[in-house]
Chains A and B, each alone.
Chain A
Amino acid sequence: MEQSQTANDGLRVVIGLGSCGIAAGAQDVKDAFVNALAAHKVEASLEDTGCNGACHREPIVEVYQGSDHWTYGGVTVKQVDEIVEKHLKGGAPIEEWTLQKGPLAPEVEAFFSKQKRIALANCGVIDPEKIEDYLAQDGYVALKTALADNDRDKVIAEMLDSGLRGRGGGGFPTGLKWKFTKGATGDQKYIICNADEGDPGAFMDRSILEGDPHAVLEGMAIAGFATGATAAYIYCRAEYPLAIARLRIAIVQAEERNLLGEKINGSEFTFKIKIKEGAGAFVCGEETALIFSIEGHRGMPRKRPPFPANSGLFGKPTNINNVETLANVPWILRNGGAAFAAMGTEKSKGSKVFALAGKIKRGGLVEVPMGITIREILEEIGGGSDTGAPLKAVQMGGPSGGCIPAKLFDTRVDYDEVTRTGAIMGSGGMVVMDETSCMVDIAKFFLDFTQKESCGKCTFCRVGTLRMLEILERISEGKGKMSDLDLLEELAHKIKETSLCGLGQTAPNPVLTTLKYFRHEYEAHVESQRCPAKVCKPLLTYSIDADKCTGCTLCSRVCPVHCITGTKKEVHVLDQAACTKCGSCSEVCKDDAIHIE
């Protein structure tokens, strides 16, 4: 852990060290700061924090001094020495590098101004490895108050009032879930935090665990108190090592302060949390499969009822909530359920975290009030497409969700409104597509994911999704038939009707929604062997534009089948009969001379 230095007039340098920051080079930036501070003999406190959501601007370095606060975005190691010398030592911020005054300031403003941060409130603000930071933000106040009041019904009533619904995708009212578990009889009850985040393009839970682990622990302890559970598991995928490391640190710190463990904070309530690392099977995010996995069995779902609230882990009453759901709990208890319910729509209260990915200018994590439109999220917060092409659709809810076309972007973020489009709210993944995205290809991508992640138990899910995938593959190769579209729909509906768990019940959604909104793209592939977005390679023809080719020879050198010939500095020729349509030439061409039709 970072040792605190004596602050010079409270000078603090805070570096975003979430997985996204580290991936962008934040650790190297931090090392450079250590060296530069020493070289320039500057005394400053060098601190870590999680992700503030603006993943597209990482590494992010924030400098605090008194009331002065500057944020540097996209910091490179080369810039560090200058920042230390001019700003930290000289007192003159390098404004053009900052997100407040630099050229990107309006974009940063747009990214944050419409957000409402509750679950993410502390992310990118506090040092997740310091319980003091969390305590300074009223951390554990909610738990302490609840224990002091010692009124479990009041806690549940508050949760019911808040209208909070499961943020993992199910959308089931959290208060009701707690109430069922409280009402269930059993000598032992369990709380499980479902941190098996697995949707491609979704990283809400990871960011919360990395940026604010104590909020989740506090939420779990409150749930334990309310339901009568004394033991808990966090089921977190092993691919999240940083989250797991920070959770371990947080648990030790909380236990040291008697905020977890035996007789918490002097009360009679005992609550112990263990971490169970999952092997990364997507289906283990389904609660019955998750429970089997913790028990040491293969993660395969079973039929509900019985629900875990009555018969869960080791056959005992078990309450399972997702990370984001639990992170909302301390805020709700501190501010009251009514304050949470004041935000959002009639049936969807509070805020929701979304992970923006795909063809989007400002990708990252955003938390928005329920009721905001998809258009506001994608265009105002996300800044539209990163390629400049018009937005075409957004996949909401990961592979279980569906594609919402641009014409429906005025749909509000609301469980029921989103469901009406054929997509689902899901856990918060938003994969954005623009006119350069092929919808058949997108459907294939998500179905390929669910097929590989199916546990293989239910016939329709195991074999049916493969047959659908094979049909999509045929279509994207120009070998589809129009009757394949009907067969796709028939399979899709049958799979949805006859699968035990959410994976199978929702796996066909990406196909069904793209078929519903983009049938013409499917038909173009089938009837005229054409991919309108120019994505499906077997349907493309490559040629070299003689006006643009400079004869640099790059393409001919990279072509794996040597179908491009030409001498240096002369126009090259591509032999279409031999071309395997791998696309390598267009990837390397610097002159935009590879023509794709």
Chain B
Amino acid sequence: MADIKLTIDDQAVTVAEGATILDAAKDLGIEIPTLCHLPDHPPYTSCFLCVVEVEGQNNPVPSCSTAAADGMVISTQSERIRSTRKMCLELLASEHTGDCYGHCHITCPAGIEIPQFIDELAHGKPGEALKIIKRAMPLPSALGRVCTRPCESVCRRGQVDEPVAICNLKSVAGDPDLKAGERWVPEVGADTGKKVAVVGAGPAGVSAAYYLRQMGHAVKIFEGQEKAGGMLRYGIPAFRMPRDVLDTEIHQLDQMGVQWQFNTWLGKDYTIESLQKQGFDAVFLGLGAQAASPARIPGEDTPGVVPGIELLAKASRGEDVDLGDLVMVVGGGNTAMDACRTAIRKGAGKVVLLYRRTRAEMPALDIEIEEALHEGVEMRFLAAPVQIEMGDGDKLNVKCIKMELGAPDASGRRRPVPQEGSEYVEQVSTLINAIGQKFDTASVDGQGVELNRWSFVDSNPKTGQTNLDGVFTGGDCSPGDGEMIAVWAVQAGHKCAASIDQFLTGRPIVGLEYEWYSTIGTPGGPAPKQILERFTPAERQTMDMISDDQRLGGFAEIELGFGPDKGKEEASRCMLCGCDATEDCKLKIYGTEYHIEPDRLAGAIRDFHYDDSHEKLVMESGKCILCGSCVRTCHDHGLDVLGFVNRGISARVSPTLGLPLAETDCDGCLKCVEVCPTGALMAKPGATAD
């Protein structure tokens, strides 16, 4: 047979007659993506992902079924081809009904592979669980106690009974390691010769250092306080965030070779420029938000008015504070709750919380509110201070005004509206203002760092880049798209470490690797009934706590943790949402490669359908992309269990007569599973062809 000479992407290749363009490209080592082509089978040509451009032809052609011809000039990566492939993948993804990941996982700002680590716990392997968590963040035991747990609000288990106690399960994975002689830390990368200065030892800085060391960069952390931890230490009381846990967990950075310098403040003791002059190749600013937001009312600088954050920091250092007999705390968040409970422990006779909305609108976690009430905090709603004056003796006269709830504001919560003429005066010994924190700009004044209009450090939310070359930032001092909470800060540290690595190695700075994944509905939205029906209700485990006497007597940790047994029990409640085919799903791999945006083509999606009747395999037709590989493979196997039914968008691959797989002739050869490019056909755990 005559040889055929053609050119693909400017490379000449010779193939035998009968070869397709796809074959010829393969000979050159050029990979053309395809979802429906089966090697050693006749071309099928349904997905149209393998299109290429042939010079002189008007339309792209499918390379899997177009014969290579002499003199052909082919382009496999032109702009037109890439846009066609992108749209092809977007169309498939736009009707795909499948969860690549659990909704907890995709909601977690740090991106912890939650079902995976919980599955390890359910199998009694906290060490393995720890390794999984530590891929996404460095502080499982610390955040396993204080995270605001956005994951649990979207946990599907909540639609069966109650969400899985995801947050605390992290400490079930992390705590045994804290007590172990040899703590597990990830491997440190080979030395790159590059030095990075991390400013701030809070969760963002710790996280940045943790990942930078894994990449092989030398890291020195500069911290103004005497100890590391940032807000985890100085903003959260020890009864929630025990210091030994925090110390031990941060200590892993020593194991990883991080250097420290404490009691040194940026803007006072050194500048960004001085760091660069010292030879640091890049700088990460994890400066936090340590200044209390002002209440903007007359008299707020009166002695006896204390910012909540200052109270917490003093308590953290073990300093004495004199609060008097009646303390009023203003605010509705977790810091307000912590301030209330710290005040009680610091000897306040009575603690009253004043919040301008109602309990339903309080941003604090419900459990924290409950605990505060349990410890005797009196809560008064729909009122706010408008003026503070020095009263008789040591007392403050706090003039308050009553509120009503009006229309919802930007946050979706109903806006409090002052009621005219409703003012009244309260007499208190101390007023604690816990209405929020802000970035203290003094640390960067005059150093060329641009701030945004909210006076945070301005940064690219994807990469953490500031306006200064080689200077990156994240966490509370530059929340970007995130919130001012620890789990966002660890994500920011991770993201900036990736950007810094890209910067130091001269690659384009993109932050964390882009990944496309499929989701059924929106996180937390109603789950397909067929998923929920597979689970029987099982109560969420509760933790043991220390006695009331013990708790109010000091700052001992209140919650005693699940421990291994309850932890395993709780872990077994996880529905393990997500897809087992995620790692090698071609739709996901190509979707990521082509940066698809299926939302622009959003419309009707496939129904969720789950057939687990067969002992060896599961069929989830919502994930089928109709490549027909299973149909052809089953036919070759001599069975024809699978075939096509219906037309148009309703076309489906279906078992014979629409029967459950177990009622068909399927012999469990699993060849269809091997060829399925997505997770539409999956082997059951442990199932083999024999």
Residues of A at the B interface (CB closer than 8 Å) are 281, 283, 298, 300, 302-303, 305, 451-460, 462-467, 470, 487, 490-491, 494, 496-500
Chain A residues with Cβ under 8 A from B625's Cβ? 459
- Decide yes or no whether B560 CB sits under 8 A from chain A: no
In residues 633-665 of chain B, which contact A (Cβ within 8 Å)?
A: 643-644, 646-651
Flag if A456 contacts B601 (CB, 8 Å).
no
Flag if A494 contacts B84 (CB, 8 Å).
yes
Q: A303-B65, A457-B46, A459-B625 are in contact. List 16 more A-B contacts (CB 8 A).
A: A281-B647, A283-B647, A298-B644, A454-B648, A457-B626, A457-B651, A458-B48, A459-B47, A460-B48, A460-B91, A462-B651, A487-B601, A490-B87, A497-B59, A498-B60, A498-B88
Contact of A453 among B43, B95, B604, B648 (CB under 8 A): B648
Give Cα distance in the complex from A453 to B628, angstroms.
18
Flag if A456 contacts B648 (CB, 8 Å).
yes
Q: Smallest Cβ distance from A119 to chain B, in angstroms?
A: 31
Contact of B647 among A453, A458, A460, A491 (CB under 8 A): A453
Flag if A470 contacts B647 (CB, 8 Å).
no
Flag if A460 contacts B43 (CB, 8 Å).
no
Chain A residues with Cβ under 8 A from B604's Cβ? 466, 470
- If A487-B600, A498-B59 touch, does A456 touch B649 (CB 8 Å cutoff)? yes
Name which residue of chain A comes closest to B92, CB basis: A459
Give Cα distance in the complex from A400 to B646, angstroms.
21
Contact of A303 among B45, B60, B91, B649 (CB under 8 A): B45
- Decide yes or no whether B685 CB sits under 8 A from chain A: no
Give Cα distance in the complex from A244 to B517, angstroms.
52
Flag if A462 contacts B649 (CB, 8 Å).
yes
Q: Smallest Cβ distance from B497 to chain A, in angstroms?
A: 38
Q: Smallest Cβ distance from B591 to chain A, in angstroms?
A: 13
Q: Smallest Cβ distance from B586 to chain A, in angstroms?
A: 13
Contact of B601 among A453, A454, A467, A500 (CB under 8 A): A467
Give Cα distance in the complex from A463 to B624, angstroms.
13
- Decide yes or no whether B94 CB sits under 8 A from chain A: yes
Give Cα distance in the complex from A281 to B91, angstroms.
24
Give Cα distance in the complex from A487 to B67, angstroms.
32
In residues 201-234 of chain B, which contact A (Cβ within 8 Å)?
A: none
Chain B residues with Cβ under 8 A from A491's Cβ? 87, 601
How many B residues face the partner with a CB closer than 8 A? 35
Flag if A497 contacts B649 (CB, 8 Å).
no
Flag if A464 contacts B647 (CB, 8 Å).
no
- If A459-B48, A460-B48, A494-B84 touch, does A451 touch B649 (CB 8 Å cutoff)? yes
Flag if A463 contacts B48 (CB, 8 Å).
no
Give Cα distance in the complex from A457 to B651, angstroms.
8
Chain A residues with Cβ under 8 A from B45's Cβ? 302-303, 458, 500
Name which residue of chain A comes closest to B35, CB basis: A459
Chain B residues with Cβ under 8 A from A454's Cβ? 647-649, 651
Chain A residues with Cβ under 8 A from B67's Cβ? 305
Give Cα distance in the complex from A428 to B339, angstroms.
82
Give Cα distance in the complex from A452 to B651, angstroms.
9
- Decide yes or no whether B283 CB sits under 8 A from chain A: no
Flag if B48 contacts A466 (CB, 8 Å).
no
Name which residue of chain A comes closest to B652, CB basis: A456
Give Cα distance in the complex from A498 to B48, angstroms.
7
Give Cα distance in the complex from A487 to B90, angstroms.
13
Q: Smallest Cβ distance from B689 to chain A, in angstroms?
A: 27
Q: Smallest Cβ distance from B455 to chain A, in angstroms?
A: 36
Chain B residues with Cβ under 8 A from A281's Cβ? 647
- Decide yes or no whether B603 CB sits under 8 A from chain A: yes
Flag if B603 contacts A456 (CB, 8 Å).
no
Q: Smallest Cβ distance from B308 to chain A, in angstroms?
A: 47
Name which residue of chain A comes closest to B65, CB basis: A303
- If A303-B43, A456-B651, A498-B51 touch, does A463 touch B644 (CB 8 Å cutoff)? no
Give Cα distance in the complex from A497 to B61, angstroms.
8
Give Cα distance in the complex from A584 to B628, angstroms.
46
Chain A residues with Cβ under 8 A from B650's Cβ? 456
- If A300-B644, A456-B644, A459-B47 touch, does A466 touch B60 (CB 8 Å cutoff)? no
Complex A-B, nearest 5 residue pairs according to Cβ-Cβ distance, in ascending order: A456-B651, A463-B91, A497-B59, A470-B603, A303-B65
Residues of B at the A interface (CB closer than 8 Å) are 43, 45-49, 51, 59-60, 62, 65-67, 84, 87-88, 91-92, 94-95, 600-601, 603-604, 625-626, 628, 643-644, 646-651
Chain A residues with Cβ under 8 A from B644's Cβ? 298, 300, 456
Give Cα distance in the complex from A491 to B49, angstroms.
15
- If A457-B626, A466-B604, A494-B87 touch, does A452 touch B647 (CB 8 Å cutoff)? yes
Contact of A456 among B43, B84, B643, B647 (CB under 8 A): B647
Would you list 22 pairs from A and B whose C-beta atoms are within 8 A, ordered by A residue?
A300-B644, A451-B648, A451-B649, A454-B649, A455-B651, A456-B649, A457-B626, A458-B48, A459-B47, A459-B626, A462-B649, A463-B91, A463-B92, A463-B94, A463-B95, A463-B649, A467-B601, A490-B87, A494-B84, A498-B59, A498-B62, A498-B84
Give Cα distance in the complex from A454 to B91, angstroms.
15
Give Cα distance in the complex from A487 to B597, angstroms.
13
Name which residue of chain A comes closest to B649, CB basis: A466
- If A452-B647, A452-B648, A497-B60 touch, does A459 touch B46 (CB 8 Å cutoff)? yes
Flag if A467 contacts B91 (CB, 8 Å).
yes
Give Cα distance in the complex from A596 to B92, angstroms.
41
Name which residue of chain B comes closest to A504, CB basis: B48
Name which residue of chain B comes closest to A483, CB basis: B600
Give Cα distance in the complex from A498 to B66, angstroms.
13
Flag if A462 contacts B626 (CB, 8 Å).
yes
Chain B residues with Cβ under 8 A from A467's Cβ? 91, 94, 601, 603
Name which residue of chain A comes closest to B85, CB basis: A498
Give Cα distance in the complex from A497 to B88, angstroms.
12
Name which residue of chain A comes closest to B42, CB basis: A302
Give Cα distance in the complex from A377 to B46, angstroms.
40
**Most chain B beta-carbon contacts within 10 A, residue among A305, A457, A458, A459:** A459
Give Cα distance in the complex from A302 to B92, angstroms.
20
Q: Smallest Cβ distance from A304 to chain B, in angstroms?
A: 10
Name which residue of chain B comes closest to A474, CB basis: B603
Q: Smallest Cβ distance from A73 to chain B, in angstroms?
A: 40
Name which residue of chain A comes closest to B60, CB basis: A497
Chain B residues with Cβ under 8 A from A500's Cβ? 45-46
Flag if B88 contacts A460 (CB, 8 Å).
yes
Flag if A466 contacts B648 (CB, 8 Å).
yes
Chain A residues with Cβ under 8 A from B603's Cβ? 466-467, 470
Give Cα distance in the complex from A490 to B644, angstroms.
29
Chain A residues with Cβ under 8 A from B626's Cβ? 456-457, 459, 462
Q: Smallest Cβ distance from B160 to chain A, in angstroms?
A: 33
Q: Smallest Cβ distance from B87 to chain A, in angstroms?
A: 5
Q: Smallest Cβ distance from A479 to chain B, in angstroms?
A: 13
Flag if A459 contacts B60 (CB, 8 Å).
no
Q: Smallest Cβ distance from B630 to chain A, in angstroms?
A: 14
Q: Smallest Cβ distance from A460 to chain B, in angstroms?
A: 6
Name which residue of chain A comes closest to B47, CB basis: A459
Flag if B648 contacts A462 (CB, 8 Å).
yes
Give Cα distance in the complex from A451 to B45, angstroms.
19
Give Cα distance in the complex from A39 to B46, angstroms.
66
Name which residue of chain B comes closest to A496, CB basis: B59
Chain A residues with Cβ under 8 A from B47's Cβ? 459
Chain A residues with Cβ under 8 A from B88's Cβ? 459-460, 498
Name which residue of chain A comes closest to B625, CB basis: A459
- If A459-B47, A463-B95 touch, does A303 touch B62 (CB 8 Å cutoff)? yes
Name which residue of chain A comes closest to B87, CB basis: A494
Name which residue of chain B comes closest to A299, CB basis: B647
**Most chain A beta-carbon contacts within 10 A, residue among B51, B59, B87:** B87
- If A497-B60, A497-B84, A498-B60 touch, does A464 touch B91 (CB 8 Å cutoff)? yes
Give Cα distance in the complex from A467 to B647, angstroms.
16
Give Cα distance in the complex from A302 to B62, angstroms.
12
Flag if A455 contacts B647 (CB, 8 Å).
yes
Give Cα distance in the complex from A456 to B626, angstroms.
8
Name which residue of chain B comes closest to A301, CB basis: B45
Give Cα distance in the complex from A31 to B526, angstroms.
63
Q: Smallest Cβ distance from A378 to chain B, in angstroms?
A: 32
Q: Smallest Cβ distance from A125 to chain B, in angstroms?
A: 39
